[in-house]
Structure 1
Amino acid sequence: MKILSAIIPCALVVSAPLSAETLSNTHVLMLLDAGLGEEAVIAKIETEQGEYATDTSTLLQLSARGVPSSVIAAMVKRASIVPEMSDSAADPLAPHFPGVYLYDDWSNEPRMWKIDPTSSSQTKTGGIFGYALTGGIASASVKAVIPGEEARHNVPKSTPVFYVYLDSATGGMSGTFSTGFGASIQSPNEFSLVALSQKKGRREARIGSMNIAGAKAGVMDKDQIPFSYEQVAQGVYKLTPEAPLEKGQYGFIFAVGGGAGPGLVGSAGTAGARVFAFGVGD
């Protein structure tokens, strides 16, 4: 019976499902306290994912606890390894360069497509005749003009999925990613998803308006397409439109600055626009 009682717990351990874990200083101490040899502990540190505190104070505490210098050295070395980043890995939790990505799950091999921001090359004013004719009672719109009639990346489905990676996702502290003009994204909530009008050789997005009451810079509420987002990891957000998108051209717009007058709408609001554009449809 003693032999059977010893076999059963072992069988349970073997049959238990294995799960990935992130090693830490605490795990290393537990393994050493359990009597695991230095070589085995070092091998585990070198081959498994880990997050180790290796500041001077902590290293002195580890040494005082009797942790061998070879084990401490392995922890320091592992902590200093910068994770290899990608701009195409399909796994959303894999390290990616900061930016906006389109998740490709329709190809034979899923992957991410990094969407580089497109600058608005110029601005265009619409409805200016009515604005002038009515003395500013009718509104004039200010549009960002984006070169090209179609985006580089096209989605053959009406429910695309996007991921936003901030600096903090790659070990940085800022929790942002730069968009130019010295401005940075801190949350997907700063984006506006809009439909882009296709014109000959260009696309347009309304990004300001002005009338006798003043001027507004940024995407108008009625032009915004609702989307939801959730944080899936530190500095990593998943974005999805709340309703299927019709065939056409779209973009996530980040507009820098604002304006309080007709001149400021064009110079501050629209000139600072960055558009992460994509197409929907075959």
Structure 2
Amino acid sequence: MTKFFTLETAGIGLAVASLAFASPSFAESLTVDKVLELNALQVGDDAIIAKIQSDGTVFDLSTDDIIELRKKGLSSGVVAAMLKTKGGPKVSLDSPDPMVPHAAGLYVLEGEGAAAKMNKMNFTVSSQAKTGGLLGYAFTGGIASMSVKVAIQNDTAPVKTNGTPRFYFFFENTTQEGAANTWASGANTFVTSPAEFTLVQLMKKKGRREARVGSMNIAGAKSGVMDKDRLAFRANEVRPGVYEVTPAQPLQPGEYGFIFSLGGAGTGGALTARIFDFSVG
């Protein structure tokens, strides 16, 4: 449990007795009194700051507390180190518990039981587009459809999973370092829900994979992933800004990806897409 100490609850008073050093298994938690005692013993700011950083105690200091500590002889460096303990929770990259803060991004849950962990997925951005069915489109005067595809490099995704994967989207803080790069969808805009993604099966080609993001025939043009290419998934918000996502049906072996269009480019943004790709073995 996180420990909080205020000057009021600690009952500040300079200790006059020598500091008793307990064995590590019975070491006492660091308190405001102990910090003052260490300072009175002149162990040095570097040692006190190192102890503050390694102990794990969170010091909840008001402005009056800070003034009182300075009056009692603590340096500004030590006070600053105490204030930094309340800088916010540390984030994880592999905890299997979605209630634990994670770095912003998309994760797939791997393993079971004690061996379970989350694997953070990296995205690929593709702005390379190609057409398919051009000859049929030309020979039929536009009656047959011509498809527009984006290409994703490499034959297969680096992330491997099974046919019933469980994913977690962490959108909880778009101001978090790295979040803007992961979830930006345009100028000063961010994706904030799995509903803005499409799950698709990627078509495997030599040296690349492809996703259809548009079609054109004599009746007109469409942009975005075609309805018949979309795979249904379920999204459940487990806590604010964090979603658990599972495919509605087991996935067959192949290449897949969660895709969303980036605004302001291509055919309504469809030709510039961000893909979190994965492979089902």
TM-score (norm: length of structure 1): 0.67
Distance 2:230 2:200 in 1: 5
Q: Pick from 171, 174, 196 the counterpart of residue 202 of structure 2.
A: 196
- 1:123 equivalent to 2:129? Answer yes
Distance 1:248 1:274 in 2: 19
Indicate the percent of aligned positions where both proteins have the same amino acid.
40
Change (3 A) 1:69 1:236: farther
Deviation track 1:68-103 (CA, whole Å, cap 9, x = no partner) reads 966xx89x8267424322322333222222111111
Cα contact 1:117–1:179 (8 A) shared by 2: no
- 1:269 equivalent to 2:240? Answer no
Cα contact 1:96–1:170 (8 A) shared by 2: no
SS in 1 for 2:137: helix
Cα contact 1:169–1:235 (8 A) shared by 2: no
SS in 2 for 1:131: helix
Pairing 1:1-282 to 2, within 5 Å after superposition: 43=31, 77=83, 80-106=86-112, 109-120=115-126, 122-155=128-161, 157-168=162-173, 177-179=182-184, 182=187, 184-257=190-263, 265=267, 268-270=269-271, 272-281=272-281
SS in 1 for 2:195: helix
Cα contact 2:174–2:190 (8 A) shared by 1: no
Change (3 A) 1:41 1:152: closer
Change (3 A) 1:21 1:80: closer
SS in 1 for 2:115: coil
Change (3 A) 1:121 1:269: closer
Cα contact 2:155–2:207 (8 A) shared by 1: yes
Alpha-carbon distance, 1:209 to partner: 1.0
SS in 1 for 2:136: helix
Unpaired runs of 5+ residues, structure 2, are 14-27, 33-54, 70-78
SS in 1 for 2:183: strand
Distance 1:171 1:37 in 2: 36
Alpha-carbon distance, 1:135 to partner: 2.3
Higher share in helix:
1
Larger mean Cα displacement after TM superposition, 207-216 or 35-44: 35-44
Distance 1:162 1:280 in 2: 13
Distance 1:37 1:136 in 2: 83
User: Where in structure 1 do 4 or more consecutive aligned residues deviate above 6 Å?
Assistant: 20-23, 38-42, 169-172
TM-score (norm: length of structure 2): 0.67
Distance 2:230 2:58 in 1: 41
Unpaired runs of 5+ residues, structure 1, are 1-19
Distance 2:174 2:3 in 1: 16
Change (3 A) 1:48 1:176: farther
Change (3 A) 1:256 1:171: closer
Instruction: Give the paired residue count.
Output: 236
Distance 1:197 1:107 in 2: 34
Deviation track 1:214-259 (CA, whole Å, cap 9, x = no partner) reads 2221111111111111122232111111111111110000112489
SS in 1 for 2:228: helix
Distance 1:42 1:107 in 2: 34
Larger mean Cα displacement after TM superposition, 193-202 or 127-136: 127-136
Change (3 A) 1:168 1:38: farther
Cα contact 1:85–1:96 (8 A) shared by 2: yes
The RMSD of aligned alpha carbons is 3.9
Distance 1:95 1:218 in 2: 33
Give 2:275's aligned amino acid: V
Change (3 A) 1:175 1:49: farther
